[in-house]
Amino acid sequence: MYASQTVNSTVNSSRASPLRVFVVEDSELIRKRIVENVRAIGGYEIVGFAESAEEAMRSIDNLHPDIVITDIRLKEGNGIEVVRHVRAHAYMPRPRIFVLTNYAFPEYKHQCSIAGADEFFDKSSEYDRFLELMHGPH
């Protein structure tokens, strides 16, 4: 199962424990890029990934990550469902949710905001901004 797979990351030695990240992305190529880039930053542990909304929601319920990075369009379901699901649960601490998509239409951005996403990025034009945010204080 993809979601239960753990991918180790470099840990920033200035932090006692890394932030736990879960990636929801159905494109293996893009998922690998996200995982490699987040690992290279340091201070993060990739605790798993999923390719569908149902798989993501089940895994997030079990893993309680600190950060969820999700695409909107998935093989089954969509990232907005994932955002709604995460926000409907009283996880403590409350995970940050970043939507990273090639479908950065204003309506999707609005729906993600209403659902409770913390940030919304266009993969093609704002990927560097996403990485800058990940580099920031965590």
**CB-count burial class (<10 Å; 0-12, 13-18, 19+) for 4:** middle
Kindly list the strands in the beta sheet with 119-122, ordered across the sheet, starting from the edge strand earlier in the chain: 44-50, 19-24, 67-70, 96-101, 119-122
Question: The domain 19-135 is classified under which CATH number: 3.90.1150.10, 3.40.640.10, 3.40.50.2300, 3.20.20.140?
Answer: 3.40.50.2300
12: pLDDT strictly greater than 80: no
Q: What percent of the chain clears pLDDT 90, i.e. is strictly above it? A: 82
Residue bearing tokens 């239960």: 4
Q: What is the pTM of this model?
A: 0.88
pLDDT digits (tens, 9 = 90+) for 34-67: 999 999 999 999 999 999 999 999 999 999 999 9
